[in-house]
Amino acid sequence: MTFDLFVFIGLALIGILAAIGLLTSRSAIYAALFLILNFSTVAVLYLMLNAPFLAVIQVSVYAGAIMVLFLFVIMLLGAERLAGPEAKTGLLWQRPLAVGLGALLLLQAGYVLITRFGQTAVSTTVVKSGPLDIGLMLFGPYLLPFEVTSVLLLVAIVGAVVLTRNK
Amino acid sequence: MNTVSPFVLLSALLFTLGVIGVLTRRNAILIFMSIELMLNSANLAFVAFAHQWGQLDGQMFVFFVMAVAAAEVAVGLALIVTIFRSKKSTNVDDLSQLKG
């Protein structure tokens, strides 16, 4: 029982509880805040996994920019109050079925992951993953995907503007 | 910890919670948030395996997944806003015009 394990268990509990809060919350604002909490715990897990730059990106891009966009749209639409999940839905069997299928998916994913990958020990070579090393990878072997990503973001910007334009 | 399996198991658990969220919630914005949760858990698995193999390629993929997620959120929220303007609702059950 190392210190790392205690930190991991605490973070995992916070992350799972935040995800469950996202699923059960009656208010869209609270759901977004739960999701931000989940993203922050995952950022700390990135730190434990020797990915400090990704942890910072996770907080600034995911928990920052993307969730601000979510909160902005929630408040713009005035959709903070959610109707109860049972409200006028004709599919009463849907929720238990979804939970059951989700549990099945979890069992299968856990079984495959543990039996196929669980035994491999962590590589002993400590790879440097600071901003310099990330940048060398990004502008070296991954230059083409990087440039394609810029086109993707441009298309997304144009698409969002065209979709929301008031005629 | 000398294996990354706890991280990968946590990733599977978060992914499952995201799937259950997509299946059970009826608000389009919450469905989107659940999709973000799933993308995030996949990122966690990427970083865990990158750590396991001692290579940076997994972390590179997380970058591209984040870029795709940002683009997806921009377009998806624009769609939700447009639908809200015409239907005055973000409930996906209200979007059933195509039902025969």
Give the pLDDT score at A84. 54
For the stretch A121-160, pLDDT in tens is: 677 777 788 889 888 988 989 999 999 999 999 999 999 9
A102 touches chain B (CB under 8 A): yes
Of B19, B25, B59, the CB nearest to A134: B59
User: Which sign, positive or negative, has the C-alpha torsion A134, B62, A32, A159?
Assistant: positive
Closest-CA residue of A relative to B40 is A39
Q: Which of A67-81, B10-24, B41-55 has the lowest mean pLDDT?
A: A67-81
pLDDT, averaged across chain B? 88
Q: Is A93 exposed, middle or buried (0-12, 13-18, 19+ CB in 10 A)?
A: exposed
What is the distance, to the nearest Å, from the Cα of residue A36 to the centroid of all Cα atoms in its chain? 9
Question: What distance in Å separates the CA atoms of residue A134 and residue A53, rounded to the nearest whole number?
Answer: 8
Q: At what angle do helices A3-24 and B28-53 cross, to 10 degrees?
A: 160
Instruction: Report residue B47 as tokens.
Output: 């970083």
On chain B, the residues whose CB falls within 8 A of the CB of A159 are 74-75, 78
B29 to A23: CB separation less than 8 angstroms, yes or no: no
Question: What distance in Å separates the CA atoms of residue A138 and residue A37, rounded to the nearest whole number?
Answer: 29
Closest-CA residue of A relative to B67 is A149
On chain B, the residues whose CB falls within 8 A of the CB of A85 are 24-26
A22 touches chain B (CB under 8 A): yes
For the stretch B26-42, pLDDT in tens is: 888 999 999 999 999 99
Low-confidence ranges of chain A (pLDDT < 50): 86
Q: Is A130 exposed, middle or buried (0-12, 13-18, 19+ CB in 10 A)?
A: exposed
What is the distance, to the nearest Å, from the Cα of residue B5 to the centroid of all Cα atoms in its chain? 21
Task: Indicate the DSSP class of residue B26.
Answer: -
Residue B72's CATH number: 1.10.287.3510
Give the pLDDT score at A144. 94
Of A66, A122, A127, the CB nearest to B73: A66
Question: What distance in Å separates the CA atoms of residue A27 and residue A83, rounded to the nearest whole number?
Answer: 9
Instruction: Report residue A94 as tokens.
Output: 């849907």
Of A70, A79, A102, the CB nearest to B16: A102
Question: What distance in Å separates the CA atoms of residue A131 and residue A137, rounded to the nearest whole number?
Answer: 10
What ipTM, to 2 d.p.?
Answer: 0.91
Question: Domain span at residue B86?
Answer: 5-98
What are the C-alpha distances in Å from A73 to residues A17, B73, B94?
25, 11, 19
Residues 6+ positions from A3 with CB-CB distance below 8 Å: none
Please give the angle made by the CA atoms of B7, A25 and A35, to the nearest 5 degrees.
Answer: 40
Residues 6+ positions from A156 with CB-CB distance below 8 Å: B70, B71, B72, B74, B75
Give the pLDDT score at A162. 92
Task: Indicate the DSSP class of residue A124.
Answer: S
A49 touches chain B (CB under 8 A): yes
Give the pLDDT score at A118. 62
Q: How many domains does chain B have?
A: 1
Q: Mind telling me how many Å the CA of B100 is from chain A's nearest CA?
A: 17
Helices (H), chain A: 3-24, 28-48, 52-57, 67-77, 94-117, 131-138, 143-164
